[in-house]
Structure 1
Amino acid sequence: MPGPARFACALSLLLCLFQAGIACAGEPVLQQRVRQLIEPRLPAGSRLTSLDIGQPASRIAACSDPRPYLVHPRRLPVGRVALGVRCAGEQALLGYLQVSVGALGTYVVSARRIEAGEVFQAPMLISRRGPLQDLPKDSALRAEQLLGRQAARGVDAGAVIALKAVRERWLVERNQPVVMHAQGPGFSLSRDGKALDNGGLGSSVRVQGGNGRTYTAQVIGSNELLLRY
C-alpha cells in the first residue's frame, strides 16, 4: 500500500476510535451509574448485552449526581429490574425506574427426566449458555446450587430447573423410625422414636417417643435426631 494511502487508512481508524470514545464518554450519567450498579452483580462469566432505562421522570433527569439502588438486591438483576434513585446529598427519593437488562450467561438444565424425590447428581445436569433475562425467576445457574439436594417435583429432560423446585435432602422422613439421642448436664442416652415431619440436616422436626410424648429435635444424620435438655 503506498505511503499516503496507508497514512489515510491509519488516520481513518484513529478517527473512528476517537468518535467511539466520545460516544462512550457521552453516555448519560444516570445510564453510567445504572450500568456500574448492574454489571458487578451479574453471575461470574456473564456479560451485559443490553441496558434500557427508558425515559426517566423529570425529577430524576434533573439530578446531576444520581445515585440509583436496587429495590430487590437479592434478585438476579436481569429482565425487568426495579431501581430507586436518590440525588447525592439529598435524603428524599426522586422516584423509581423500571430498567430492562439483558445479559448472556450460563445456566443449568436437566440431562434427562428427573423424578420427584431424586437426589441431584452431576451426570443429571447440563450447563448451557444463553440470554439470562429469558429464564424463569430464580432458575439454577450453577450445578452447585442443586447437587446433593432433592427434586421436589418432576423435571422434564432439557428443562431449566427452578430453585423452588428443589429441597434439602430428607435425612428423616415422616412416619419413619428414628433414633433420638438425648443429651443434658451429666447424662446421654438414646431412644427409638417415630418422626412426625420430614427434615434435612440441621432442621428441627417433631418426633414421637416410645412413651407417646412429642418432642422437637434436631436432625444430625440419617434417621438420627438430637434432643438437648
Structure 2
Amino acid sequence: MKGSLPLHALFVRRCQSLGVLCCLFLSSVAGAQADLLQERVRALVEQRLPADSRLSDLIVGQPAARIRACAEPRPYLVHPRRLAVGRVAVGVRCADQEEVLGFLQVMVGAQGSYVVSARKIEAGEIIQADMLVSKRGPLQELPKGSALRADQVIGRQAARSIERGAVLALKAVRERWLVERNRPVVLRAQGTGFSLTREGKALDNGGLGNTVRVVSADGRMLSAQVIGQNELLLRY
C-alpha cells in the first residue's frame, strides 16, 4: 500500500508506543544473539587448540551492527594456520551467505604444553629427546612460533645456541645438514648405462633432497642432490 512503512519500521514504531516492555524484549533478543555468537566463537577456537590444551579465557570484542543483526552467525578464523591463542582475528558470515559481515578481535587464553631445553644446546647440535623437557602453562604468553611438541624439533639441527630452560622456537632449529660447506663429499654420477663415483668438496650446506654446489676432484663446479651423509648424486 502506498505510503506504508516497512515491517521493521512498523515494529520499531509499535515498540516506541509500548515502551519498557518492548525495550526489554528487544534487549533479550540482542542478548540471545550475542550469546550465540560467543558460543560459536568458543567452539571454533576450541577446535583449533592442541589436543592436550584447554581454553582458560575468551574475550570477544564488540561486534559491528551487521554482525549483531545476524540470527545465524558463522564465525571463521582469518588465519586458520596460526595457533588460535592470544589476539585472534575472527571473520563472521551469516547463515550460508558468502558475504563477510565483519570481523571480531578475540582474546584467547589457553593452558597447554610446550617444549623447553633441558640443558644448553650448542649451535649445530642435533636435537635429541633427552635435551628437551615438556612444561605446561599459558600458551598465549609464549613467543610466536614456539614448539609445543618435542617431535617438532627432534632430529633437527640447532641453528643457534639455545640456553638451558629456554622455550624452543621453531625458527631456532633447521633441517639437519647431511652435507656441510667446504667438507669432502662422495659424488655419485649416474646416467644411462653407467655409474661413477668420485670425490669432491661441497660449496654449500644441504639437507636430504637439497641441491648444492660441489667442486669435483678435477676442478669442475657442478650441482648435485644430497642423498645421504656426505653423499651427493649427479644425474646425467
* Match status 1:28 vs 2:35: yes
For 2:228, which of 213, 221, 226 is the aligned residue? Answer: 221
Q: Which residue number in structure 1 is paired with residue 4 of structure 2? A: none
Secondary structure of the corresponding residue to residue 124 of structure 2: coil
Unaligned 5+ segments in structure 1 are 1-24
Quote the sequence identity (%): 71
> Partners in 2 of 1:201 and 1:180 — Cα distance?
14
Report the number of matched residues. 205
* Match status 1:201 vs 2:208: yes
Contact 2:146 2:170 in 1 (8 A): yes
> Partners in 2 of 1:95 and 1:212 — Cα distance?
63
Secondary structure of the corresponding residue to residue 85 of structure 1: strand
CA shift at 1:209, angstroms? 2.0
Q: Which residue number in structure 1 is paired with residue 93 of structure 2? A: 86
CA shift at 1:48, angstroms? 0.8
Instruction: Using the TM superposition, name which of 128-137 and 193-202 deviates more.
Output: 193-202
> Partners in 1 of 2:61 and 2:229 — Cα distance?
54
> Partners in 1 of 2:218 and 2:90 — Cα distance?
57
Letter aligned with residue 100 of structure 1: M
CA shift at 1:174, angstroms? 0.6
Q: TM (normalized to structure 1)?
A: 0.84
Q: CA RMSD in A?
A: 1.6
* Match status 1:148 vs 2:161: no
Q: TM (normalized to structure 2)?
A: 0.82
CA shift at 1:185, angstroms? 2.0
Q: Which residue number in structure 2 is paired with residue 169 of structure 1? A: 176
> Partners in 1 of 2:123 and 2:36 — Cα distance?
49
Given the superposition, is the C-alpha separation of residues 213 and 67 from structure 1 closer, same or farther in structure 2, using an over 3 Å criterion? farther
Q: Which residue number in structure 1 is paired with residue 47 of structure 2? A: 40
Secondary structure of the corresponding residue to residue 28 of structure 1: helix
Measured against aligned partners, the alpha-carbon deviations of 1:61-116 in whole angstroms (never above 9, x if no partner) come to: 21111122112111111011112221223222212222111111111111111111
> Partners in 2 of 1:89 and 1:122 — Cα distance?
47
Q: Which residue number in structure 1 is paired with residue 146 of structure 2? A: 139
Unaligned 5+ segments in structure 2 are 1-31
Contact 2:34 2:68 in 1 (8 A): no
> Partners in 1 of 2:66 and 2:195 — Cα distance?
67
